[in-house]
Amino acid sequence: MELGWWLVMAVAVFGARALLTVPLIVWGLVLAVAALDPIGAQSNAVFQSRLSANSGDSDGAAAKDNFRPLAATVGRTDSTYVEGGITILDEHRPPITQNVPPPQRGPALRICVTGGAGFIGSHLVDKLMSMEEGHTVIVVDNLFTGSKENLAQWFGNPRFEFIRHDVTFPLNLEVDQIYHLACPASPVHYKWNPVKTLKTSFLGTMQMLGLAKRVKARFLLASTSEIYGDPLVHPQAESYWGNVNTLGVRSCYDEGKRAAETLTMDYHRQEGVEIRIARIFNTYGPRMSLSDGRVVSNFVGQAIRGEKLTVQGNGQQSRSFCYVSDMVDGLIKLMNTEGIDGPVNIGNPNEFSILELSAIIRDVVNKNVEIDFVPQTQDDPKQRQPDISRAKAWLGWEPKIQVAEGIKKMATDFRTRIRG
């Protein structure tokens, strides 16, 4: 029977007044139970806030509540504040105390380096730890391509901490600056699990931006020249939007970094996060992986082992190579220069064809090795050279180390690791 008929029959049997008292009695019972159980309300609110913090909504208000004293989270809803069973309207809500310390602006900072166990990250950590300001450095790395050996010199130092953590999951830290480098960077590694590469680029950047927003830290994204794809403009200035294949085998990296840049800018525009975007061009130096398929490490390793240098295609494709100490100086300058509001290319503009590079490496490392021409990989860009006018003007930065000098330093490290 329809609800209307039930109501008519109930009014006929009990009278209208009796019928109205039933919901009032039920409502009174609900209020009484809530007043007797403040702990339940409290644990539910805390549970809800943790749930949102762990669900990837790292910038949500609920995630922010993780930093507040327990009392501030008791029984909160969006429009009311419930205390001891009494509902207080928004305008009477007591001020929320945050237990995040105000950001420190030097001289000694708390600095997080994601991907700090990797090639560039570990050199960045060396530099930050050695600076006279006495910074504290927290490395966050899942050791996918990085290694604790790269940081061995810092374990045991009270200003250094290592956290083994995958950046695609939430993380709460109290820091002043975040250098976000965590991401596989060489084609061999990023093509190995392209879905994970995209997740690391996007979700990892989202988690770290959420953290930066919560603790008001300055955030630097390690982006890449790969966002220019196979460029139609040469050299590449920051104003160039790029020419990227969205479907190719390298797209997981290129498009992942492009999305990471977009997210970084949107956190800046929408949430007011202080951000820096470094478009890093090919970098080389000690601690590069011996077998990551990147051209400089390939050639140096092959030359030391006395193997043929494998040049892809006809070797006329060009690259420019930045020594790692120059790169680290550029990143630190970018992080600490005020008034930056756009991406900055960091790289060495000296351009070489791959064939020219192989000749330099033969000269410096082993004159007896021969060249072997092999097929070119899919979507390999033909030209890559940074326009660093912006880095010069905004940061007063330009690279200092010439390729032959850098290759010599790198070969010393490779010899030790290859020959033991």
Ligand X SMILES: NC(=O)c1ccc[n+]([C@@H]2O[C@H](COP(=O)([O-])OP(=O)(O)OC[C@H]3O[C@@H](n4cnc5c(N)ncnc54)[C@H](O)[C@@H]3O)[C@@H](O)[C@H]2O)c1
Nearest distance in Å: CB 180, ligand X: 8
For ligand X, the closer of residues 222 and 369 by Cβ is 222
Whole-angstrom distance, CA of residue 285 vs CA of residue 409? 7
Q: 113, 211, 222, 275: which one contacts ligand X (CB under 6 A)?
A: 222
Q: Which helix (H) or strand (E) holds 83?
A: strand 80-83
For ligand X, the closer of residues 118 and 286 by Cβ is 118
The active-site residue out of 81, 179, 190, 253 is 253
Count of residues that interact with ligand X, criterion CB under 6 A = 28
Q: 41, 73, 119, 286: which one contacts ligand X (CB under 6 A)?
A: 119
Binding segment (CB under 6 A) for ligand X, from list 3-11, 160-168, 354-362, 368-376: 160-168
Instruction: Determine whether 253 is an active site residue.
Output: yes
Residue indicated by tokens 């190995």: 192
Are 376 and 310 in contact, with CB atoms under 8 Å apart? no
For ligand X, the closer of residues 74 and 280 by Cβ is 280
Report if residue 300 touches ligand X, rule: CB under 6 A: no
Per-position b or e across 292-321, b if 16+ CB within 10 A of its CB: bebbbbbbbbbbbeeeebebeeebebbbbb
Instruction: Give, in degrees to the nearest 5, the angle at Cα 141 between 135 and 147.
Output: 100
Whole-angstrom distance, CA of residue 113 vs CA of residue 48? 30
Site map 125..154 versus ligand X, x via CB under 6 A: ----------------xxxxxx--------
Interaction with ligand X in 331-390: which residues (CB under 6 A)? none
Are 418 and 366 in contact, with CB atoms under 8 Å apart? no
Nearest distance in Å: CB 339, ligand X: 24
Concatenate the DSSP letters of all residues of 27-41 into one string.
HHHHHHHHHH-HHHH
Report if residue 203 touches ligand X, rule: CB under 6 A: no
Report if residue 282 touches ligand X, rule: CB under 6 A: yes
277: its two tokens: 């975007």
Sign of CA dihedral 386, 387, 389, 390: negative
Report if residue 207 touches ligand X, rule: CB under 6 A: no
Catalytic residue numbers?
A: 253
Q: Interface residues with ligand X (CB under 6 A)?
A: 114-115, 117-121, 141-146, 166-168, 181-185, 200, 204, 222, 224, 280, 282-283
